[in-house]
Copies of this chain bind each other. A is one copy, B any other.
Amino acid sequence: MTDGVLDLQRFFPYRLAVLAEEVSRTVAQLYADRFDMTRQEWRVLAAVAANRQMAAKEIAEYSTLDKMSVSRAVAALEAKALISREEDPADRRNKLLTLTPSGRAMYQKIVPLVRAREDYLLGALSPTERDMLDDILNKLTSRARDLRQRG
C-alpha cells in the first residue's frame, strides 16, 4: 500500500468520481431523456423553484455554477418558456427570474422522480450510515474547498 504503486480502485478521489458520475447519470436520465434538459438547466430550474425571484448571481451561488453557465441555461429555459425574466426596478442591472406556470409544472413532475432515485440510493444504507454520510460529506466538502483555495 505504501509502496510506489497506487491502486486506482482504492484511491478515494477516483472512487468518488466514479460514484458521482454514476449517480449523476441516473438522475440525468430523468430530466435529460424525459424532459430534454441539461444539467445546468435543471440546476437553474431547481434554484429558482426553491427560492423564487432570484438574480442570476444568486443562482450561480446557490447552484455552484459560474455566471456564464447560468446565463446560457437561463436563455435556454426562457426559450422553452419555463422561466421568465424581468428587470429589477431597484437595480436595473439585475434580471429577476421566476418560473412560468409551465416551468413550475415541469419542476413538480421532476421532483418526485429524482426524490425516488435519491431514496432508492440511500436505501442501501442504514439510518446510522445515512446520518454519518451527511457529516462526512460536509467535512470532506469543507476540506476540499480549503485545499483548492490554497492550491
Contacts and interface: CB of A to CB of B under 8 A. Distances in A.
Contacts of A111: 4-6
Nearest to A128: B132
Interface stretch (A24-32, A67-75, A78-86): A24-32
Given A6-B46, A22-B144, A50-B6, A139 B115 contact: no
Contacts of A145: 22
Contact of A143 (B4, B120, B133): B120
Interface residues of A, number: 60
B121 A43 contact: no
Contact of A12 (B4, B13, B122, B142): B122
Interface in A91-114: 108, 111, 114
